[in-house]
Structure 1
Amino acid sequence: MLPSQRHLFEIPPDICYLNSASSGALPRTTLDAGRAAVGRKGQPWTLGAGFDSRQYERARAAAARLINADAGDIALIPSISYGVATAAKVLTVPRGTRVIVLENDHSSPVLEWHARAEAQGFVIETVRQPADGDWTSAVLAAIERSGAPPVGLASISSVHWSDGGLIDVDKVQAALRRHGAMFVIDATHGAGVVAMDVKQLDPDAVIFPTYKWLIGPYGRAFLYMAKRHHNGVPLEQTAAGRRNVNSENPVYFGDLGYVDNARRYDMGERDYYISLEMASIGMEMMADWGAAAVVERLAMLTQRIADGVRDLGVSVLDRRLRAPHILSLGMAGGISKDLIAQLAAENIHVALRLGRMRISPHVFNDEADADRFIAVLAKQLRG
């Protein structure tokens, strides 16, 4: 089993950080790279020819590796909402169809479709958060709902941020394909941890950021766009997205068509080399460990906690329904903010999400962290 990687992070021994679903810690090498990058910005004349290009192509390749995509299928973007907005501009949802989203999903994969529904003539169907935590069955039931308008597209997270519910994207994609519908996946809580092979799955778009599970910085995200959609109009008009444009001294000549891959969807000012290298390092580390090894370690930690709190009067989603790296605890009447604060006062950091306690360890956590959390939670609940 992959051992704890705590030695690679600046996490003091008395800190029990179990909140990577909110923000992942940065490895020491990433911190060093960020400091060096800021220094380069202070002396920009030291940047050699082609430096920017090497930076964003390294990041593009690292992102592609996480989901088994080709580098040319990946666009450099700043956020999930940017990626969904790009996908919504490129993908045509047929009039009279439904767009399926999840209740209490994060706003990014949801709001863009609400903004477009009336003008484009489709309706939004929200899949209610299931009492039993079985998101996959709920989504499949919505797709197959008798008497409903046809499904045009589903825009959903692969792991629900609030309760850690795992959506079986393979089953959902198979159902959508039978209906000729498109699939946009917010893989914020999946990419790099839960294995995804886009060449096998064949979704229309997948979007993920680096600041949570990919132990990278804010403001860096990536959009996978299937090759069949490399003919769309991007969200921004940039020199980098066009053929025959000199980006150093923008002079327009000849055919100004777009480049023939997902690079056309790159954000403006993509040459953001301060954080691009930081993002690359985290993604490369995750890929080197491998999703299988990361999942094995994190599933061990979440199950250790689940077993340890069994007699404390809290509810836990069935293991087959939850993501291996997120554990959500419920209590009658909900979890109080005071309990979260009491844990934080003892240097144990978790999150309150929709009345439940979300626990999200990463590779820097160890068995001692899990046991300490159990002991302190037991003391608070029994005290």
Structure 2
Amino acid sequence: MLDSQRGLFGVPRDICYLNSASYSPLPLRTQDAAREAVGRKGAPWTLDADFAGRQHERARSAAARLINADAADIALISSVSYGVATVGRILDIPANTRVLVLENDHSSPVLEWQTRAASAGFSIETVRHPLDGDWTSAVLAAIERAGAPRLALASISSVHWSDGGMIDVEKVAAALKRQGALFLIDATHAVGVIAMDVRKLDPDFVIFPTYKWLLGPYGRAFIYVAKRHQHGIPLEQTGFGRREVRSDAEIYLADLSYVTGARRFDMGERDHFISMEMAAIGMEMMAEWGTEAVSGRLKMLTDRIAEGLAASKVRIMDAKFRAPHILSLNFAGGLPGGLVEGLAEEGIYVAPRLARMRVSPHVFNDEDDVDRFVTALKKRL
């Protein structure tokens, strides 16, 4: 199991930060790289002609490594919502079919399809929150529901952002293939912590940002596009998405056919000299530790919290249904007013999510952090 990596972060000992599902702190190494990058942007004449390209490919390769993809199948994007909008541009959802989403899933994998449904003539089917926390069984039942319209697409998070419920994407992918349906995975709360191999899983799209579990900046995200969808029209029309648009040549728009692979789906203005390197560093660190080591450490921490609260009135999802790194605490009558704010006054940071308390440690947390949280929460309750 991975040891606590607190020494790689600037988290003071008196701060108990258990909210990485919102934003993770940046490693000290990443902060140093960011300061150096700001200096480069301040002196752009120091950048060689290939600098931006090297940054793009470093980040693309780092993202691909996390899900065992080819770098050519990864596009550089700004956010999960941008990625889902890209998928919306690529796909034509037929009329009289249905798109599957999760109840209270994050807005990103949901709103695109809700916006398109009426005009395109397809329906949205929402998988209701399972009382026992078994999201996988609920999704499988919806996929295979007898008498339902043909299923075109499941657009779902692999870990529910609010309650930490984990979906078995292998079982879901197999069920969708039996129905001839497509699979879009919002892997925001999975990549880097929970193993994913797109070569074996064969999803249609996988999208994830860096600012939470991948220890990176806001505004950097990536989309895996299966090869069978790489002939679609991108959301933005860019020169670098075409074969030959060159400002240093005699003919500027020389060849407007699209480049091969997923690079055609790269966002416009991708030359983020500062944050692109920051994103790459965080992803490389996570890959070096490995999902088994990271998830093992975080599961130890969340299990320790669950055990510490076992005799309290707090209700916690069964361990077999929850992700290793997100713990959702349920209270009779809902989340007590002022509880999260009161903990923050003690230097303990968690998040209120849909009348529950979400606790999300990362590799910089240790046993002292979670024990301190349990003690403080019990006292306040």
Q: Check whether TM > 0.5.
A: yes
Render the CA deviation track for 1:243-289: whole Å, top value 9, x for unaligned.
Answer: 11115679444431100100000000111111000000000000000
State how far apart, in whole Å, the 2-side matches of 1:337 and 1:296 are: 33
Who is 1:218 aligned against? 218
- Describe how 1:251-330 pairs up with structure 2 within 5 A: 251-330=251-330
Matched residue SS, 2:255: coil
Deviation at 1:9, TM superposition (A): 0.2
Who is 1:82 aligned against? 82
Runs ≥4 residues deviating over 6 A = none
State how far apart, in whole Å, the 2-side matches of 1:259 and 1:281 are: 27
Aligned amino acid, residue 47 of structure 2? L
State how far apart, in whole Å, the 2-side matches of 1:366 and 1:255 are: 55
Query: For residues 352 and 238 of structure 1, do their structure 2 counterparts lie closer, same or farther at Cα, with a shift above 3 Å needed?
Result: same
Where structure 1 has 5 or more consecutive residues not aligned to the other structure, the ranges are: none
Who is 1:47 aligned against? 47
Q: CA RMSD in A?
A: 1.1
Who is 1:72 aligned against? 72
State how far apart, in whole Å, the 1-side matches of 2:295 and 2:50 are: 37
State how far apart, in whole Å, the 1-side matches of 2:69 and 2:250 are: 31
Render the CA deviation track for 1:63-90: whole Å, top value 9, x for unaligned.
Answer: 0000000000000000000000001111
* Deviation larger for 315-324 or 331-340: 331-340
Render the CA deviation track for 1:94-140: whole Å, top value 9, x for unaligned.
Answer: 22110000110111100000111122221100111111111111111
Who is 1:240 aligned against? 240
Would the aligned equivalents of 2:234 and 2:265 in 1 still touch at CA under 8 Å?
A: yes
Would the aligned equivalents of 2:103 and 2:129 in 1 still touch at CA under 8 Å?
A: yes
Where structure 2 has 5 or more consecutive residues not aligned to the other structure, the ranges are: none
Aligned amino acid, residue 313 of structure 1? K
TM-score, with normalisation over the residues of structure 1?
A: 0.98
State how far apart, in whole Å, the 2-side matches of 1:248 and 1:283 are: 34
Query: For residues 252 and 126 of structure 1, do their structure 2 counterparts lie closer, same or farther at Cα, with a shift above 3 Å needed?
Result: same
Who is 1:110 aligned against? 110
Deviation at 1:184, TM superposition (A): 0.4
Who is 1:339 aligned against? 339
Who is 1:33 aligned against? 33
Would the aligned equivalents of 2:98 and 2:123 in 1 still touch at CA under 8 Å?
A: yes
Render the CA deviation track for 1:182-203: whole Å, top value 9, x for unaligned.
Answer: 0000000001111000010000
Who is 2:127 aligned against? 127
Would the aligned equivalents of 2:245 and 2:255 in 1 still touch at CA under 8 Å?
A: no
Would the aligned equivalents of 1:240 and 1:247 in 2 still touch at CA under 8 Å?
A: no
TM-score, with normalisation over the residues of structure 2?
A: 0.98
Matched residue SS, 2:64: helix
